[in-house]
């Protein structure tokens, strides 16, 4: 018996020891999911299964790094060759290996979100389309949606339903934009993040011999956070495991909160239908939270109809009741939460870093930032601009990208005049125009710049000097290591001199960020040297790694002992001793767009469940009776999710610090006898009216919804108060709606 198996409870151990065939591990919040996934891989290795035949897919680089370090310690020397990483990093590696098959160079560039949106803006400008109508962010997400649903630009243009929808949303040129976007990425030898998955699907579908190679290599596939997978990811998993079926997926349907990114909860809900021979394991003991917090969270999530039933429990202390905090306004909410934190730190000697304020939308952070600072409470907004998204860092990385891949147009346009070398916007626009007119790349135009008649001699010389500089750097790519070359680039390009000339605090900060980037490159080179790799740690290898870094960091030294502020989506996977859920009000949480759509409402409830289960010892649920929106005061009622919680788990009494009167909390008599503003419906007259309307609906009836458009009722179910209609919409597929909120118009 291996010692590591003794560290597991019975449910965890059963999941770890199951080896052959498909397995679904439902891991409740705080149930040791990471340990089970890690130990399962260790167990495979200890059974003699080669590391190179195991693929483990995660959603964050941080999760992959932590698991890999743990595996290497437990499995000693057996972990070398293990393929573990994010979906994007693993399949980017496969695409580089097989680049020739998909007609790409192995050194293709990976566009981040900023690059992709900049390309969209360029295309909109060329097509003379108004950004007020064709919003770049919306267009980018529409392209992302298409790729994640495996819809090519050609299929997009041929799909009449999609075309109808685009006309409905007044973006009839969407398909053309997508087509040009695809062509430009190809010309630039670039892929965006969605392409890394989309093109892997294309590769496996069109190249059976390559698919067979990877099926034979990866005999065991493991997937973390399976509830967050989209269609594209799921198809790749099915491709890889369709012969041996040794697939183990770990996740929690109750924590599926990323549908806006394309995540499909059906992947986990239907797993046992797709793999009827699969084994189901449930990890139901929560090691993180008190019994009270777990019980309250269970009260909320049990109201969802679409779920895999489980009984999450805790054997920790019963713990304090969840404090229900009512404030008159959103401003007072900020003050009340700040007072709670201040009281905890001063009275119970807690650390600021043991407190986290969670909210539904980013906009809510402003009041908390301002209020905490007035209380002299240090805070950190988690999810702000990451290190690699800072302008000066993106500028340097753009140099690296262009040196490696001369066809990378977004990188070229970013740095051709940085530092300033007298190449203005009009010149860049002229180069762009010529490249489009000739159906080629801007770099190729630059190589022929001396032949362009309407460029001055001075501009031609500047363009030629820029090209020569890039080519000189490119010649050294495979001669010197990444650290040495990066220092040359920074010096010769003039970046260091430019930053050193700015003596302002901001300028000094930018210079320090560049120094930190160089430190990171040096560490990368040293690590490769320590691994005794035969290959030179080149700048290209460094860029391949850094281009896929998307995780935020919580453990920077400057972040120690600060209260964390973050959206609930950002908090997924984290835990804090004390959690404050702010803005628990109808039309904010759940948000107004979700209340008539059962699927969206259930995701909002899962989001509330995630928020509550981030807490270890103490949780506060806060709501304000009034909140400012667009300069107006809006009255609110408490979230329906509060009403889901059994009152025995709630504390609605006065708190213990001074200057906090009875009016700031809801009394039990007022709260648990629903009166006006405390129930989701508006009033009795509204209930009567909607019930009369509900009785008019029939199966087969054609209806119209303000968000989803025209559709047809295919099923009605439920009681008189809560009838659910299953509607097949022309452009949005099937939705389950609560009729008393849906406001369906009968056609």
Catalytic residue annotation: 33-34, 224-225, 255, 614
CA-based nearest residue to 442, from 487, 382, 402: 402
Hey, CA dihedral for 299, 303, 307, 310, is it positive or negative?
Answer: positive
CB-based contacts of 191: which residues, under 8 Å, 6+ apart? 95, 104, 108, 109, 110, 111, 185, 199
**486 exposed, middle or buried (CB, 10 Å; 0-12, 13-18, 19+)?**
buried
CA–CA gap between residue 269 and residue 281 (Å, rounded): 14
Enumerate helices (H) and strands (E) in the chain, giving the number of each.
Answer: 32, 21
In angstroms and rounded to an integer, the radius of gyration of the C-alpha atoms of the chain is 28
Q: If phi over 0 gives left and psi between -120 and 50 gives alpha, with beta otherwise, what is residue 32?
A: left
Cβ pair 260, 138 in contact under 8 A:
no
Handedness of CA 129, 132, 133, 134 (dihedral sign): positive
Beta-carbon contacts of residue 244 (< 8 Å; ≥ 6 apart): 215, 219
Residue with tokens 């302002």: 504
| 33 contact partners, CB below 8 Å, separation of at least 6 | 25, 27, 224, 250, 251, 252, 283
Q: Which positions ≥6 away from 209 have C-beta within 8 Å? A: none
**Alpha helices (runs of H) in 276-329, residue ranges in sequence order:** 291-301
**Residue owning tokens 């050609």:** 154
Catalogue the E-assigned strands of 607-732.
615-629, 632-635, 650-651, 702-705, 709-717, 724-729
- Evaluated on CA atoms 112, 114, 120, 126, the torsion sign reads negative
**Paired sense of beta strands 379-381 and 576-581, if any:** unpaired
- What order do you get walking across the sheet with 54-58 strand by strand? 83-86, 54-58, 220-223, 247-251, 23-27, 279-283
Strand partners, 248: 23, 222
Helix axes 87-97, 231-241, angle to 10 degrees: 60
């Amino acid at each position: 018996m291996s010692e590591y198996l003794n560290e597991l409870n019975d449910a965890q151990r059963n999941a770890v020891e199951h080896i052959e065939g498909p397995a679904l591990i439902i891991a409740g919040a705080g149930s040791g999911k990471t340990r089970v996934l890690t130990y399962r891989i260790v167990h495979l290795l200890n059974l003699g299964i080669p590391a190179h035949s195991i693929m483990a897919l995660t959603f964050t680089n941080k999760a992959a790094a932590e698991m890999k370090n743990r595996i290497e310690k437990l499995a000693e020397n057996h972990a070398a060759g293990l393929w573990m990483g994010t979906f994007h990093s693993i399949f980017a590696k496969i695409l580089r290996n097989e680049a020739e098959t998909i007609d790409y160079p192995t050194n293709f560039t990976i566009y981040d979100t900023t690059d992709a949106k900049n390309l969209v803006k360029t295309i909109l400008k060329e097509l003379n389309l108004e950004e007020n109508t064709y919003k770049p962010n919306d267009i980018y997400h529409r392209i992302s949606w298409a790729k994640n649903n495996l819809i090519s630009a050609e299929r997009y243009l041929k799909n009449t339903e999609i075309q109808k929808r685009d006309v409905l949303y007044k973006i009839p040129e969407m398909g053309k934009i997508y087509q040009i976007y695809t062509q430009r990425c190809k010309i630039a030898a670039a892929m965006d993040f969605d392409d890394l998955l989309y093109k892997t699907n294309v590769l496996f579908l069109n190249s059976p011999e390559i698919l067979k190679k990877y099926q034979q290599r990866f005999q065991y596939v493991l997937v973390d956070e399976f509830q967050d997978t989209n269609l594209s990811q799921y198809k790749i998993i099915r491709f890889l495991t369709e012969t041996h079926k040794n697939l183990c997926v770990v996740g929690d349907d109750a924590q599926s909160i990323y549908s806006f990114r394309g995540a499909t909860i059906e992947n986990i809900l239907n797993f046992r239908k797709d793999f009827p021979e699969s084994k189901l394991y449930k990890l139901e003991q929560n090691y993180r939270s008190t019994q009270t917090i777990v019980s309250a969270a269970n009260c909320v999530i049990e109201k969802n109809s679409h779920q895999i039933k489980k009984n999450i429990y805790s054997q920790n202390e019963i713990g304090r009741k969840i404090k229900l905090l009512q404030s008159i306004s959103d401003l007072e909410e900020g003050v009340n939460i700040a007072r709670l934190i201040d009281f905890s730190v001063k009275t119970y000697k807690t650390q600021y870093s043991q407190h986290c304020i969670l909210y539904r939308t980013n906009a809510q952070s402003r009041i908390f930032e301002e209020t905490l600072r007035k209380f002299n409470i240090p805070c950190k907004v988690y999810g702000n601009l990451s290190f690699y998204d800072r302008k000066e860092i993106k500028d340097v990385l753009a140099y690296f990208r262009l040196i490696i891949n001369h066809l990378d147009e977004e990188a070229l346009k970013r740095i051709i005049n940085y530092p300033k070398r007298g190449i203005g916007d009009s010149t860049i626009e002229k180069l762009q125009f010529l490249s489009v007119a000739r159906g080629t790349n801007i770099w190729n135009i630059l190589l022929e710049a001396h032949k362009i008649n309407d460029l001055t001699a001075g501009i031609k010389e500047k363009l030629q000097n820029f090209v020569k500089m890039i080519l000189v750097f490119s010649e050294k790519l495979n001669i010197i290591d990444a650290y040495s070359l990066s220092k040359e680039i920074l010096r010769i390009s003039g970046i260091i001199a430019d930053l050193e000339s700015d003596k302002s605090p901001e300028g000094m900060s930018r210079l320090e960020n560049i120094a930190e980037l160089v430190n990171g490159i040096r560490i990368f080179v040293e690590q490769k040297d320590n691994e005794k790799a035969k290959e030179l740690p080149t700048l290209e290898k460094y860029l391949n790694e850094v281009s896929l870094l998307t995780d935020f960091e919580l453990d920077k030294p400057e972040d120690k002992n600060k209260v964390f502020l973050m959206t609930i989506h950002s908090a997924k996977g984290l835990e804090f001793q004390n959690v404050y859920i702010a803005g628990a009000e109808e039309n904010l949480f759940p948000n107004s767009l979700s209340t008539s759509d059962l699927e969206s409402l259930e995701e909002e409830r899962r989001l509330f469940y995630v928020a509550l289960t981030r807490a270890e010892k103490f949780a506060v649920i806060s709501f304000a009776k009034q909140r400012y929106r667009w300069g107006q005061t809006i009255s609110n009622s408490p979230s329906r999710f509060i009403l889901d919680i059994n009152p025995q788990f709630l504390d609605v009494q006065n708190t213990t610090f001074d200057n906090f009167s009875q009016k700031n909390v809801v009394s039990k008599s007022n709260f648990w006898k629903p009166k006006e503003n405390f129930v989701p419906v508006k009033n009795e007259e509204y209930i009567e009216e909607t019930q009369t309307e509900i009785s008019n609906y029939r199966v087969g009836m054609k209806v119209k919804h303000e968000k989803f458009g025209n559709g047809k009722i295919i099923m009605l179910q439920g009681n008189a108060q809560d009838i659910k209609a299953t509607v097949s919409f022309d452009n949005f597929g099937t939705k389950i709606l609560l009729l008393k909120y849906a406001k369906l118009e009968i056609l």
